[in-house]
Amino acid sequence: MQTFAIFPNLKKKNIDTILGWIIEYLQQRQVRVLLPGSIASQTGYNDLAYSFSTESSENITLAITLGGDGTLLSTARQMAPLNIPICGVNMGQLGFLTEVELPELSVAFDKLIAGDYRQEHHLMLDAFVIRGKKTFYVSSALNDVVVTRGGFSRMIRLNLYVNNELTTNYAADGLIIATPTGSTGYSLSAGGPIVNPNLDVILVTPICPHTLNARSLVVADHEEILIKLQSVSEDMVLTVDGQTIYNLTPGDQIIAKRSSHSASFIQFKDQNYYGKLRTKLRRGK
């Protein structure tokens, strides 16, 4: 029997109706359905509760997210160490990372049950903060690791090292270290390039640099990126996928490097990345 784990964003409109429909649709087709324990208790599906942090994941076929890119990102960080593939259902606005739109639910679930799909593995990053002589692990990231100023409008100064070689000195609002998956997120809005997620590279994009010649930098996935903060301001933060926040202090150093885990995404055989670029980002409209 196949087992689908569902991760819904309960803040989305009509989520109760859609979640109920999905559960019934899958169960009628002999698919076992699981929900995170907290979600199961809030929605009344206590018999479907499952603890993903402590129980074995061997029998879970795939994970389904109901929401937008934010829901998918948080689920991906949780599922990657368990090697569980993810299929995102878009209930947000853009939903660039998601694979399924609401009108396509029944067709998409029939394909999932039949195994009519392929898997793509996207590289992830690990973020560390060095403070004094101690190194603190912050989080893994699917989209990006960002060093930026906090609420004040002053710029920050930082040095960028690649494989311990000083590469650039920045005076900017911050610096984005992005994966190819995250190239269509914050990095893109800051002027970074769009990179196919099948490529094994890491992007470095400055945020509002105070210079006329700053450009994004693309490095190999095996190279380690080190950021040394030069600013004396204590209003600096490290964010991971725009969701995890770590307060920084002057003198901190941040390391971003490829994670040992990767995120596995469900891709239907009749869809491709460049078609998604055209439809999702409305290129050439």
Cite the active site residues: 69
Give the C-alpha separation, 33 to 138, whole Å.
32
CA distance 248 to 18: 41
Strand partners, 161: 166, 226
Dist. CA 252–CA 267, nearest whole Å: 40
| Torsion angle in degrees (nearest 10) through CA of 137, 142, 147, 148 | -130
The dihedral region occupied by 42, where left means phi > 0, alpha psi between -120 and 50, and beta the remainder, is alpha
Take residue 14 and report the two structure tokens written for it.
């009509």
Measuring CA to CA, how many Å separate 277 from each of 29, 97, 98, 254?
A: 33, 11, 12, 32
